[in-house]
Amino acid sequence: MLQPSSTTNRAPRPGAAVTGRAWLMLALATAGFALNFWAWALLSPLAPRLQDSLGLSSFQQSLLVAVPVIVGSLGRIPVGALTDRFGGRVMFPLVSAATIVPVLYLGLAGHSSLPALLAGGFFLGIGGTAFAVGVPFVSAWFPPERRGLAIGIFGAGMGGTAISALTTVKLVDANGMANPFLITAGVLAVYAAVSALLLRDAPGRTVPTEPLARRLTATFKLGVTWQASALYAVAFGGYVAFSVYLPTYLKTGYGLTQADAANRMAGFVLLAVAMRPVGGWLSDRIGPVRVLNGALALVAAGAVVQAFTPSLAPVGTLAFLAMAAALGAGSGAVFALVALLAPANKVGSVTGVVGAAGGLGGFLPPLVMGALYGTYGSYAWGLILLALVAAAALAYTGTVVRRGIDRRDPAAQPH
């Protein structure tokens, strides 16, 4: 009888030791992801201020914070495929340097009108593509038994949005609108130079030889591409949606000040970030399906509770923190699934598509929430929709995704 090839639920083999260089590359990649996400999220904390100064409607404010999300999401598809071909050593400095341009534009000239902000936000989306660079880069450095944890640690770089939430408004209040943008551009420039000098692709990295179009076509034919995309649209999409819209939600729904709302959003982000490596680590040990099942159930329950707009102390706060932890762990579990099922020479391409789905999942909810609030004067229906989507994803995970893993390796997922 053939022995199962997967080691998803086993302890790492003695021969699967990770080198010090691999950990260094992981640290550099995580830093790059965090810094690019910091830039990517610069407009969100300023959205309420820009709404007041420019007289924007709720929908226009939602569009302002959503544009960088959708561009950064769709951009992951070609960037992931290019990373498969050229490696993270080339792509990390390139993406970081390219993000500097819209950051400077927004800080110096592009914040005086909605069209200018939308144009700057469009190119600011480049920063969001860094995720599709890091997953294949990190994955190649680690053995299969450690990839869930490694990619989860890398995914914690999404905490760059917390840096933005905690600092942007304060920096603007202290020294004017250009201040946070100039600082972010300077930090990105330093990282681009350092990463160009220090980053190295993993020895023996599988380099595809097929043309880009053919590789993307093959990627779209993989079952894991669509399974992981659907789940990431809910898990990471939910995280992105809350990270960009929560300040507006808290200010409008609970009457909090802009600074208080931004600080609470930062707490949501930090918990989600901390739970992402935990989700990857748990997936290495009990399987990604079990982690996703628990995470999605918790999101559905938290959204139902919050739909009733309970007081923030303590029920509302607990509901949001539970959803933050679940969305973070679920995001880590999705890429443990990708590391388990995607072919080695297509990890970047699959990551690009899955990352795009996650970003698109974060693009729609702020628009829906803004439109529903403008129509009904309440966010309840938006949260009920989130609960229904999470419940549907839970059912999908327990059936289609589980069967896909069991067909590949009956021992890979515990029963």
Per residue in 316-345, pLDDT tens? 999 999 999 999 999 999 988 888 888 877
Mean pLDDT of the 84-92 span: 93
Nearest to 359 by CA among 99, 223, 161, 168: 161
Most confident of 60-64, 75-79, 249-253: 75-79
Domain ranges of the chain: 21-201, 218-405
Task: List phi, psi (to 5°) of 4.
Answer: -60, 145
Joined together, the tokens standing for residue 340 give: 């388990």
pTM of the predicted model, to two decimals? 0.77
Other Cβ atoms less than 10 A from the Cβ of 118: the count is 16
Nearest to 223 by CA among 338, 357, 119: 338
Place of tokens 């100039």: 182
Joined together, the tokens standing for residue 195 give: 């990463």
Dihedral sign of CA atoms 289, 396, 328, 233 in order: positive
The chain-wide mean pLDDT, for the chain, equals 86
Mean pLDDT of the 153-181 span: 88
pLDDT value of position 56: 82
Dihedral sign of CA atoms 94, 37, 116, 192 in order: negative
Dihedral sign of CA atoms 106, 109, 110, 112 in order: positive
177: left (phi over 0), alpha (psi -120 to 50) or beta: alpha
pLDDT value of position 408: 66
pLDDT of residue 185 exceeding 90: yes
Question: Can you state the percent helix, strand and coil of the chain, rounding each to 5?
Answer: 85, 0, 15
Q: Which CATH superfamily is domain 21-201 in?
A: MFS general substrate transporter like domains (1.20.1250.20)
Other Cβ atoms less than 10 A from the Cβ of 305: the count is 19
Nearest to 328 by CA among 350, 287, 358, 284: 358
- CA angle 192/171/191 to nearest 5° reads 10
Mean pLDDT of the 10-37 span: 80
Mean pLDDT of the 226-244 span: 87
Joined together, the tokens standing for residue 223 give: 């079952």
pLDDT value of position 14: 39
pLDDT above 90 coverage of the chain, percent: 40
Residue 313 contacts residue 365 (beta carbons within 8 Å): no
pLDDT tens-digit series, residues 108-141: 988 888 899 999 999 999 999 998 999 889 988 9
Nearest to 128 by CA among 67, 173, 182: 67
Joined together, the tokens standing for residue 139 give: 């994955």
Distances (CA, A) of 360 to 66, 167, 200, 213, 317: 9, 26, 31, 22, 26
pLDDT tens-digit series, residues 344-371: 778 888 888 998 888 788 777 877 888 8
- As a whole number of angstroms, the distance between CA 225 and CA 236 comes to 15
- As a whole number of angstroms, the distance between CA 247 and CA 53 comes to 17
Q: Which fold does the domain 218-405 belong to in CATH?
A: Growth Hormone; Chain: A; (1.20.1250)
pLDDT value of position 148: 85
pLDDT tens-digit series, residues 260-277: 887 888 788 889 989 999
Q: Do domains 21-201 and 218-405 have the same CATH topology?
A: yes
Asked whether the bond before 365 is cis by omega within 30 degrees of 0, the reply is no
- As a whole number of angstroms, the distance between CA 331 and CA 154 comes to 12
pLDDT value of position 411: 43
pLDDT above 70 coverage of the chain, percent: 94
Query: Which of the four pLDDT bands, split at 50, 70 and 90, describes residue 414?
Result: very low
- As a whole number of angstroms, the distance between CA 157 and CA 19 comes to 21
Produce one character per residue of 10-34: b if its CB has 16 or more CB atoms within 10 Å, e if not: eeeeeeeebeeebeebbebbbbbbb
